[in-house]
Each structure stands twice: as structure tokens, then as C-alpha cells.
Amino acid sequence: MASARCDAYTVKVAGVVSFYMTAALVMVFVNKAVLNNSPDLPLLFLFLQLVIAVILLHAAAAVTSHVEIPKLEMDSAKKLFPVVSVNIIGLVFNTLCLRGVEASFFQIARGLVLPLTILVSSVHTRSTPTLRTLAAAGVVTIGFLVGVAPSTSVPAISTPSTLSLFYGFLSSLFIAFHAVLIKSSLPHCNNSTIVLAYWTNLGSAALLLPFVPLHGELAVLEDLIHTSSWDGNVFLWGSLITGVFGFLLCLAGLLSIKVTSPITHMFSSAARTVVQTVLGVWLFSDILTVNRAVSILLILLGTMYYTWVKSAESPPRLRQNDVEALGSASKDSENEMTVIFDTPEKDDKQ
């Protein structure tokens, strides 16, 4: 009996990890394909993704009570404005970074997520990281520097611009801010990550909407429609696919960290990065130099070491009334108890 339960759990974990990896890989490569096809429509592309995610959340709420659509109240909107605004700024820089770099280089360009998250969290909590935490951040930082160092073996066309690297840095910085703000924002959403996801997607779409015409993208779209060389199907289908998989990735991330463990989740993220690099070389003919390979390896090792350190230093803490408690530790009356791991997560949505 115990063996059967163990086998069932193993199958569940394998399914969740596969689901997460597939959703994340589809997001990156379809995003990249659309941005290659329509590089002048990044904000419209991102706006459509957010709108589709909101529509799917409404659809999910119609078929299951586990998805809650919150009442749109001004008081809640004001309290959640910081996390929503930081989220959309980070997504914009994330999209602009992916547009300007190769798919296999994307993880390097955003390689400072962990060190910046540790820094922002330490400043916010006025605490000093442990030596092992600093060592992990140091390994990741060295990996980033190795990856962005100029190399004569990389053709000019494959060399990321300084602006793209700056977008990657800003994306990492706002992901760090977002990780800190989530903790203070969840209480305003009844500790529901899906309610917070709804507010974040809807609010981000609302904040982004006026910038689409201001950036001139509606005029660009009209010109492209009348250009015979532009394949509008790539943009339309890409927007739909990434919108759907962005929604699935939100669920996949929750499942991966709750059904499994932070260590398993981080190893699945590492495996995805390796697969993403290989697929980038294969599908987009990306250049993989020794420097870039070493960079990716160091970033992965530093991130996995950090996850192990945090898991060893701090046992999982319990939080009540999380309606998405898919991997509940126990039940007390009608309140589910779910394990919430205090580890900063990378925003794989884009």
C-alpha cells in the first residue's frame, strides 16, 4: 500500500515538473518567434497576453470554485498598485530584453535576478545575508559577468547590444522588487495567489493600454497589415498561444512549488534552462560559445546552491487559508494548511 502511494506521488511530481517545463519552454520560444516576426509591436503583444490571461481566469472561475474572481474595489486597487505597477514595468523590460537577445542567451541576460533579489530583500528587511547566501549570489554574479564579457568568437549579429543587457538588468531588478512586494500584497488578497494573479494581470493590462498607442504601435500595426511581407498569423496565433501558456505557466509554477519542493522546483528550472539552450541553438541557430556555456553553468550552480542553503537554514512555514493549497500538509477543520517556501522565484512568464 505504501509502495503504491509512493508510486502515485512520484507520477504526480513527474507530471507537474513536465507540465511546468513544457509551459515555460513554449512561452520563451513562441515569444521569441513573435518578437522576431513583429519586433515593433512589443507592448501590443504583451497587452494581448495579459487580456487573454484575464479572460481565462474568468473561464476557470466559471467551472471551478478554486478560482476566485475578486470584486473590483478602489481600496484594493490602491493597496495593490505598487505590486501591479512593478509587475508591468518588469514585464515590459523582460519583453524588450528577449526581443534583443538570442533565446539561449536570455537566461544570461537576466542572470542577476537572484543577487538583486537577495539585495532588495536584505534592504527591505534590514537584515544581513549569511555567508553561504552571499557565496551563492557571488557565483551567480560571476556567471553573469562571464556571459556578458565581450568575445571575438561571437559574430556581431549575435552579440547582444548594451541596451538589451540594460533591459535584462532592469527586468531582473523589477523581478526582485516584485518578489518582495508579493509578501506584503497577499494579505490584501485573502492570501490567495490566484486573486493576486487576477489583480496583477488586469491591472497590468489597464496600465499598459494607453502606452500602446503612445508608443505608436497601432500605426505600426496598420502599416504592417498592408505589408505583403508581414505574416500576421504569426502575431495573432503567437499572442493566443503565449496568452494561454502564460496562464498555464502561472498554474504550473504554483503546482511545481507546492506539490513538489523548492529543491525539485529549482532542479526542474535548471533542466529547463539546459533544454532551452539546446533548443535555442537548434531552432534559432543561436551561438553557444564556451563563455556562454560556463556562464549558464555557474548561474545554475549558484541558484541551486542558494535554494539548498535556504531549505537547510529555514524549515517550511505554514500559512492558512490559501485557496490554492494543492499540496496541503494537513487539514484543520475547514482550513487547509499549505507549505509556503520562502525562496525568491524567477518570473518565467515572459
> pLDDT tens for residues 96-110?
999 999 888 888 888
Q: Closest Cα to residue 254, out of 169, 194, 177?
A: 194
pLDDT at 283: 77
- Asked whether the beta carbons of 295 and 108 are under 8 A apart, the reply is yes
- Residue 102, CA distances (Å) to 39, 98, 124 in order: 13, 7, 34
Query: Order of strands, edge to edge, in the sheet holding 328-332?
Result: 317-320, 335-340, 328-332
- DSSP code at position 247: H
Count CB atoms within 10 A of the CB of residue 40. 16
63 part of a folded domain: yes
- Mean pLDDT, residues 8-25 taken together: 72
Number of domains in the chain: 1
- What is the per-residue pLDDT across 167-188, written as a single tens digit (0 to 9) for each? 999 999 998 898 888 888 888 8
pLDDT at 7: 62
Residue 143: half-sphere exposure toward Cβ, Cα within 13 Å:
27
- Asked whether the beta carbons of 45 and 95 are under 8 A apart, the reply is yes
Q: What is the mean pLDDT of the chain?
A: 80
Helix (H) or strand (E) holding 332: strand 328-332
User: What is the residue type of 98?
Assistant: L
- Residue 218, CA distances (Å) to 58, 91, 215, 225 in order: 27, 20, 8, 11
Pairwise CA distance, residues 348 & 19, whole Å: 13
Pairwise CA distance, residues 329 & 325, whole Å: 9
What are the residue ranges of helices labelled H in the chain? 2-37, 42-63, 74-100, 106-109, 113-125, 131-148, 162-185, 193-208, 211-214, 217-225, 232-259, 262-284, 290-313
Q: Which residue has the higher pLDDT, 313 or 7?
A: 313
- What is the per-residue pLDDT across 278-295, written as a single tens digit (0 to 9) for each? 777 787 777 888 888 899
Pairwise CA distance, residues 207 & 237, whole Å: 24
232 part of a folded domain: yes
* Three-state secondary-structure class, residue 151: coil
Q: How confident is the model at residue 91 (pLDDT cuts 50, 70, 90)?
A: very high
154 part of a folded domain: yes
Report which listed range, 42-46, 190-194, 227-231, 244-248, is most confident: 42-46
User: What is the residue type of 186?
Assistant: L
* Three-state secondary-structure class, residue 336: strand
6 part of a folded domain: no
Instruction: Residue 204: give the domain boundaries.
Output: 18-334
Residue with cell string 531552432: 283
- What is the per-residue pLDDT across 107-144, written as a single tens digit (0 to 9) for each? 888 889 889 988 998 998 888 989 999 999 999 999 99
281 part of a folded domain: yes
- Asked whether the beta carbons of 188 and 80 are under 8 A apart, the reply is yes
* Three-state secondary-structure class, residue 346: coil
- Asked whether the beta carbons of 154 and 346 are under 8 A apart, the reply is no
Pairwise CA distance, residues 141 & 118, whole Å: 12
270 part of a folded domain: yes
